[in-house]
Amino acid sequence: YSHSMGNSTGNIDEYWEAIDSTFGLQGGFIWDWADQGLLKEGADGKKHWAYGGDFGDHPNDRNFCLNGLLWPDRTPHPALHEVKFVYSPVKITLENGAVKVKNAYFFDTTEGLKFRWRIHGDGVELSSGILNLPRIDPQGAYDMALEASPWYDAYHSCDDAGEIFVTITAELSRSLRWAEAGHIVSSTQLQLPTPTPPLRRHMIFDGDDDGTLSLEDDENSITISDRSRLWEIKFNKEDGGGIEYWKVDGVDVMRSGFLPCFWRAPTDNDRGGESRSYFSQWTEAKLNDLKLITESFKVLQKSEKLVEVSAVHLLLPNNNGGESVVYFKAEFVYSISASGDVVLDCLIKPETATDVFRLLPGLPRVGIVFRLDESLNRIKWYGRGPFECYPDRRAAAHVGSYEGDVESLHVPYTMPGECGGRCDVRWATFEDGDGNGIYASVHGGSPPMQMNASRFGTAELERATHDEDLVKRDCIEVHLDHKHMGVGGDDSWSPCVHDKYLVPPLPYSFAIRFSPLSRPNSGHTLYKSQL
């Protein structure tokens, strides 16, 4: 019922909702437990995982033996977190103002488990402690009113948080033959209700009443900065009207941006199905080879503190000089304030009259792409993590504040493809060693984003056939997606992403706020200033 080939194992939580609630359903077998790769010495003298065809063997099934929850050396894939979550012997839900703890064991009580809790608001821990529960018999449950919970005081007194989550874990209280004491067998996160949903301001000036903007407009470019040159943004009129560079305190932080993006490096599941596969349908429509034409580019200085830049882009297949039809119209409006804040409002409109959209099953993604200087290698985010997750494989990934370097986001699947994504990201920062960089967050009523940052561009992840073949770029490619298609997982030989996780070619509008970042500011303080 699930095929874990590469970046896969999507929607398994929905199977387990049915298994847990339907008498007689017992589970199923995941194909497979471990990747069946073999070590082979490469040209660099190091040993790497090899698959069909790497030994001169013909015929072969290429990497179809690599469909496990683990690498061949038994290192877990990110999907194993999701499997562990749905297999958990403790099920915790929030129902009608009460926390319900169910013991899913058929023979064991919960006496051998120790429960802990931790509560945070907008990613900041408020309190934590031990959760003392009575013994719960096999297949039994215990209900605890929210007002009786040990975290209620912290929850009730936190009146300035837009979101509040409590995480409850169950760990072994003593060592067993299969695991040591402290091993976590269950981890569940519950979102607690907040009295008033936070509202986001349309534009942020950060109290910079004295700041004013400088605008330089010449034939080929437009440069906007504050008068003291603490930050500077240059738009290239000829190169699609995108950002040519963004400097913060004299440091180049952005190499290029922002451009609409609809393509992702295909996963094994994307390729499965031969001519019926998502990949075949996408490439036949040339979604992987779109050219951008700027229909219009305008600049309006609305005041000494606000400049508005608007660009309308047309995206059409690159037919090598032949006639093409427009696939998408992308309207981008940049509102740039003297504080350095940039609010990017995006409206993506597919030309639905085009025949191609009547045939396509959906789009890989709808979002923006930009490239940062390679020095901005430190990333922090508030969203789901800490491990890789996608819209149909995110039940185990808790919302929280995480950080690491960009390299740590990459997942070294033996056959490269789309990887390293993080779901439901509210804000993210990209910083160098001195704390200079870029802040990005959802804005207005836009939902959280799907984020990806990599030293390997999408084209490189598509080109390489082995992880060790990937060549790093001298920049960081960042994707912030309003919509991203699921990875699927029912099988890897037919296009079977569930309908709710497809991205139909419809009009989409979303807004993202960007800010120059320098110490002592942090992503959290900038995010809170929005609310």
Q: Which tokens go with 162?
A: 């837009």
How far apart, in whole angstroms, are the C-alpha atoms of residue 70 and residue 359? 36
Angle between helices 79-86 and 12-21 in degrees, nearest 10: 10
Cα 245 to chain centroid, rounded:
25
Helix, strand, coil % in the chain, rounded to nearest 5? 15, 40, 45
**Sole residue written with tokens 């996408």:** 282
Domains of the chain, residue spans: 98-192, 215-529
Q: Count CA atoms closer than 13 A to 129's CA, side-chain side.
A: 11
Dihedral in degrees, nearest 10, Cα atoms 147, 153, 155, 156 = 80
**Could you tell me if 381 and 271 are in contact, meaning their C-beta atoms sit under 8 angstroms apart?**
no
Produce one character per residue of 141-168: b if its CB has 16 or more CB atoms within 10 Å, e if not.
ebeeebeebbbeebbeebeebbbbbbbb
**Could you tell me if 479 and 261 are in contact, meaning their C-beta atoms sit under 8 angstroms apart?**
yes
**Which residues of the chain, if any, have pLDDT below 70?**
195-210, 240, 320-323, 352-354, 359
Q: Count CA atoms closer than 13 A to 407's CA, side-chain side.
A: 7
| Beta strands, E only, 463-520 | 475-484, 508-517
**Pairing status of strand 378-385 against strand 422-425:** unpaired
How far apart, in whole angstroms, are the C-alpha atoms of residue 35 and residue 75? 10
Q: Which tokens go with 179?
A: 């695991």
**Could you tell me if 85 and 396 are in contact, meaning their C-beta atoms sit under 8 angstroms apart?**
yes
- Minimal CA–CA distance to 419: which of 267, 260, 262, 263? 267
- Minimal CA–CA distance to 277: which of 8, 61, 495, 13? 495
Check the CA dihedral 64-456-464-356 and report its sign: positive
Q: Which tokens go with 3?
A: 């095929």
Please tell me the predicted confidence (pLDDT) of residue 208: 47
State which amino acid sits at residue 312. V
**Could you tell me if 434 and 519 are in contact, meaning their C-beta atoms sit under 8 angstroms apart?**
yes
How many Cβ atoms from other residues are within 10 Å of residue 207's Cβ?
Answer: 9
- Minimal CA–CA distance to 420: which of 501, 468, 477? 477
Q: What is the DSSP letter of 173?
A: S
Cα 402 to chain centroid, rounded:
13
How far apart, in whole angstroms, are the C-alpha atoms of residue 371 and residue 453? 9
**Could you tell me if 288 and 280 are in contact, meaning their C-beta atoms sit under 8 angstroms apart?**
no
**Sole residue written with tokens 């999408």:** 458
Q: Count CA atoms closer than 13 A to 76's CA, side-chain side.
A: 9
| 3-state class (DSSP) for residue 268 | helix
How far apart, in whole angstroms, are the C-alpha atoms of residue 511 and residue 448? 10
Please tell me the predicted confidence (pLDDT) of residue 229: 74
How far apart, in whole angstroms, are the C-alpha atoms of residue 114 and residue 291? 57
Q: Tell me, which fold does domain 98-192 have in CATH?
A: Immunoglobulin-like (2.60.40)
Q: Which tokens go with 450?
A: 């799907």
Please tell me the predicted confidence (pLDDT) of residue 354: 64
Produce one character per residue of 347-366: b if its CB has 16 or more CB atoms within 10 Å, e if not.
ebebbeebebbeebbbbbbb
| 3-state class (DSSP) for residue 318 | coil
**Sole residue written with tokens 């994504």:** 421
Domain range 215-529, CATH architecture: Distorted Sandwich (2.70)
